[in-house]
């Protein structure tokens, strides 16, 4: 189980710079290989897990390759290893996440 906080992206920063900053941040925790396509959002990444995510505070969106879902506190999503990103709205958003290895989920 993990807690994580997503912040809003700064305004006025060119997308190539945001993309590079996100890649650098992911590299800090050995996650650079999870970034496969940043076309829709600088934070787009693919995980190899099934994630149960609950938004605890703030407002945020789950961004997928083919759409976006706005979340409010108490909303829960199940993210199944797809290319995705999170975007906070109006300030930080606090999540609680349970990540299950995809291979373990098949057993």
CATH of the domain at 17: 2.60.120.10
pLDDT tens digit string along 35-81? 989 999 999 999 888 999 999 999 999 999 999 999 999 999 999 98
* pLDDT range class, residue 2, cuts 50, 70, 90: low
Residue ranges making up the domain that contains 55 = 2-106
Mean local confidence (pLDDT), 13-20: 93
The confidence band for 88, taking pLDDT boundaries of 50, 70 and 90, is very high
Cα separation, 25 vs 33, in Å, equals 12
Q: What's the domain count of the chain?
A: 1
Q: What 3-state DSSP class applies to 33?
A: helix
Question: Which helix (H) or strand (E) segment is 49 a member of?
Answer: strand 49-64
């Amino acid at each position: 189980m993990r807690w994580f906080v997503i912040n809003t992206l700064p305004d006025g920063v060119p997308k190539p710079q945001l993309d590079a900053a996100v890649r650098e941040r992911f590299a800090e925790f050995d996650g650079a290989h999870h970034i496969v396509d940043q076309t829709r959002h600088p934070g787009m990444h693919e995980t190899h897990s099934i994630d149960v995510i609950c938004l605890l505070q703030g407002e945020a969106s789950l961004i997928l390759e083919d759409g976006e879902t706005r979340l409010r506190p108490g909303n829960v999503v199940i993210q199944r290893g797809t290319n995705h990103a999170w975007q906070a709205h109006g300030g930080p958003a606090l999540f609680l996440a349970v990540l299950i290895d995809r291979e373990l989920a098949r057993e």
